[in-house]
Amino acid sequence: MQPRLLLAAVVCAWLPARGATAQDVAAPGFSLTPLPYPGQSCTSTFANGDVLCFDGVAIARFDAGGAPLATYATLPAFVFPSFVRLDAAEQYALVGENSSDQLWRLELPAGALVPLPALHFNFDAVQRDAAVWYLSAATCGFNCGTEIWKLDALAGTTELRARLDGPSGPVALDPAGNLYFASQSGAFPAPPGSTSILFLLGSQLAAGPVLAPSNAFAIASGFDGGGDLLYDASTQRLLLAENNYGSGLNRIVFVNGGPASSPVLVDGAPGQWISNLELAPAAPFGVLAAFQPPGDRLRYNTTDFALAHARISLEPLRPVLALRGPGASGAGTLELNVDGAPPTGWALFAFGPAGSVGAIEAPLPLPGAISLWSPLALGSIGLVPGLVPIDAVGHATRVVAHDGSAIGQLALQALLLDADFAPAATSGVALL
């Protein structure tokens, strides 16, 4: 555990809310939405949108609009919070702090605070099942490595499972139980490129001998610090919040080998610190990917530890198809205009009977890692011949002749390809 990580814990103090998110920039195909924020950075969100917060003194619940609902517990003195994590079933929350190194199970909805075995310099926690969590903690103190502990939050037992080099850092799990750890530099500020993403095999982590640093292998490297990690099971991708005090860099990326090949989702304002990555699953479809239908949303917190403090939602931003010109209401030329498309890609326009448009979209049978969605009945889809180039700002226009006979009869949708002609997105549907 290093001083910069202790400083990061200060984000859980009460601070004024930052009202605007314009300083953070979303990648093309995404949008940012400010969320009501109670002014604390250690947060965890209930399925109904309520927020559980830990500010170092109080553990409290707020509704989705930011209004206080309940104060579950109040500590006798301020501590540096590490985390507050809701159990997946919302039966309890796991709470950690690194001033006196305490861990608690907060029973819900009653609010009883049950002490658990302390872990020195506990930093992060991720849930494996109803009872079991994995925690990162530097129980030996400073400059002596970090450890991964297995905690049974219901039985109140701990077991050392791995020793790793460097200070404690964020952890994430995939559905198979494999653990990901963002290594940290012992220097302050951390040198550029000093963070690697380490992988520990779930079967070895669950039982057997305590794992050594040699059991962890790097799946990515060269990042500028690790503030938080999150595994997105829908896309099978790992998200990293990069934070570096020295350079002022802070951003959220999809991890893919190294910084140059890792797509940036959010580029934060210089000097901020991003934390508390959370996924809000979509229903009934959609994933966290650029240019997709409204789907999974990523929530995160950001602060400058002084005045700026915000909670933000990152959401996919789907391209929009609009019909214009005389042909949109009768006979004449019909303009098919798509905006917000993948820049420098290609647009192909599909059509189908207006009566075939379904209430729920289905994936198109096209190759690609991300599903492309359409409400048009697959067996009735036709294509307007020819590809149209998309310009550098994501706009494309196709002009066709219309004799007026299709008014009220057709629905149109843009099928969008990237610059290499790979399927990338679909627009919403426009009715003629």
Does 7 score more than 50 pLDDT?
Answer: no
State whether 84 and 31 are in the same domain.
yes
Q: Which of 282, 316, 350 is the last residue of a domain?
A: 316
Is the same domain home to 123 and 249? yes
Query: Are 108 and 203 in the same domain?
Result: yes
Q: What is the pLDDT of residues 374-395, one digit of tens each?
A: 999 888 899 999 999 999 999 9
Both 154 and 281 in one domain: the answer is yes
- Residues 288, 381, single domain; the answer is no
Looking at the structure, tell me whether residues 238 and 116 fall in a common domain.
Answer: yes
Shared domain for 291 and 205, answered yes or no, is: yes
Pairing assessment for the beta strands 171-173 and 157-164 based on DSSP bridges? unpaired
Question: pLDDT per residue over 321-335, tens digit each?
Answer: 999 999 999 999 999
Which of 285, 316, 347 is the last residue before a domain boundary?
Answer: 316
User: How high is the pLDDT of residue 40?
Assistant: 63
Domain hosting 375: range is 320-431
| pLDDT tens figures, 385-432 | 999 999 999 999 999 999 999 999 999 999 999 999 999 999 999 999
Q: What confidence category does residue 284 fall into, taking pLDDT thresholds of 50, 70 and 90? A: low
Strands 297-303 and 273-280: antiparallel
What's the pLDDT band for 262 if we cut at 50, 70, 90?
very high
Domain count of the chain?
2
In angstroms, the CA 194 to CA 190 distance is 7
Same domain, 178 and 30: yes
The Cα angle at residue 31 between residues 24 and 314, in degrees rounded to 5: 75
Confidence of residue 287 (pLDDT cuts 50, 70, 90): confident
Tokens describing residue 250: 């802070």
Mean of the per-residue pLDDT values of the chain: 90
In the prediction, which pLDDT does 4 show?
33
Query: Do residues 259 and 329 share a domain?
Result: no
Q: How far apart are CA 95 and CA 59, in angstroms?
A: 9
Q: From 290, 316, 342, give the residue that closes a domain.
A: 316
Same domain, 134 and 276: yes
Q: Are residues 311 and 384 in the same domain?
A: no
Please check whether residues 306 and 324 belong to one and the same domain: no
Domain CATH code at residue 327? 2.60.40.10
